[in-house]
Chain A
Amino acid sequence: MQGMTKVGDGVTAAVLRRAPMFALLWWVLAEGQSEAWGLGAVAVATATSASLYLQPPSRRRFSITGFLGFAGFFLWNSLHGGAQVAWMALRPRPDLRPEFLELELALPVGSPRVLMLNTLGLMPGTLGVRLDGDRLKLHVLDKRLPVAASARALEAHIARLFGVEHRPPGRPRGGAVNDIKPQSGERLSPPSSGWERGEGP
């Protein structure tokens, strides 16, 4: 347990960091109207105290450079992912090679994993299906794409954003393509179960 003064300092620092963010948010929501600030003060105070309750101040700090790096990576990849899936949908033959893959997450439990799971669905070709402990089941649209490498890159960006360690299993750094393996053993039901309505050429 920390001493009372330390906890108190942490709370004050968190209030000083968070209240301006909520005030900025209110300014945006009110579209800059100054007469709304009475209600705004109440909203900012309520939001700040709710945030302290829901996300108590911790030593884990959000890094600004990490955030910019992540935002750039995310924007670029959602453009790439959207354009790719648009092309796949519009081309004469969809030519998909879907597959389930399993990825061992190298991020700590909590917000980093939640962010990873959620952003994966917007990255090119991947969709999070189920998180079981450390193992994340992914659905990929085309198994010929280098999805493992891009999932690891996303993971590294998230690790930097939260200032946590990133240790992919197997190789210490880089592509780490081999630690992602098809779930060939997991034929959930025969391919001709009538569920799929293959719209071929």
Chain B
Amino acid sequence: MTEFASTTLLLLGAFFYFAGTVGLLRFPDVYTRLHALAKADNLGLGCLLAGLALQADSLAAALKLLLIWPIALVASAAVSYAIARRADALRLAPWRGEQGENKP
């Protein structure tokens, strides 16, 4: 049962990392790419760590794995804000769709 839950979580984590990378490659500009990285990769990391924690030898080791998640979240949130802010300061215009297609 634990084995199954752990495998499912690890596969889910791999899926979200994959989706985040696809988003990084497919999305049109720096802002949308940050969305893909910040959200999908962090969820992937969360799933991966939860899956590994289920296989840990002791409670302390499991908690240590889970502790990585909030710390990585803080780093990734701060870094994506820093990149977005810099892009904005450089006046990089956000992508607004194909010409004439994306009008409300």
State whether A86 and B67 are in contact (beta carbons under 8 Å apart), knowing that A78-B43, A98-B95, A121-B38 are contacts in the complex: no
Q: Given the complex of chains A and B, what is the CA–CA distance between A129 and B38 in angstroms?
A: 13
Q: Given the complex of chains A and B, what is the CA–CA distance between A87 and B42 in angstroms?
A: 15
B residues 54-87 touching A (CB-CB < 8 Å)? 58-61, 63-64, 67, 73-74, 76-78, 80-81, 84-85, 87
A96–B32 touching, CB < 8 Å:
yes
B93–A190 touching, CB < 8 Å:
yes
A31–B39 touching, CB < 8 Å:
no
State whether A141 and B92 are in contact (beta carbons under 8 Å apart), knowing that A82-B43, A86-B40 are contacts in the complex: no
Contacts of A127 in B (CB 8 A): 31, 34-35, 38, 80-81, 84
Contact-size category for A = 35 or more
Q: Given the complex of chains A and B, what is the CA–CA distance between A25 and B67 in angstroms?
A: 9
Q: Does A191 contact B (CB under 8 A)?
A: yes
Contacts of B20 in A (CB 8 A): 85-86, 89
Nearest 8 interchain pairs by C-beta: A82-B43, A89-B23, A86-B19, A32-B60, A118-B77, A196-B95, A139-B31, A189-B93
A-to-B contact residues, CB < 8 Å:
25, 27-32, 78-79, 81-90, 94, 96-100, 117-119, 121-122, 124-125, 127-130, 137, 139, 141, 187-193, 195-200
B-to-A contact residues, CB < 8 Å:
15-16, 19-20, 22-23, 26-29, 31-32, 34-36, 38-40, 42-44, 46, 58-61, 63-64, 67, 73-74, 76-78, 80-81, 84-85, 87-89, 91-99, 102
A/B interface sample: 8 pairs, CB < 8 A: A32-B58, A81-B39, A82-B44, A85-B19, A85-B36, A96-B28, A98-B31, A196-B29
Beyond contacts A86-B19, A89-B26, A98-B29: 14 other A-B pairs, Cβ-Cβ < 8 A, are: A28-B64, A31-B60, A82-B40, A82-B42, A84-B39, A85-B20, A88-B23, A94-B28, A96-B95, A129-B31, A139-B32, A191-B95, A193-B93, A195-B93
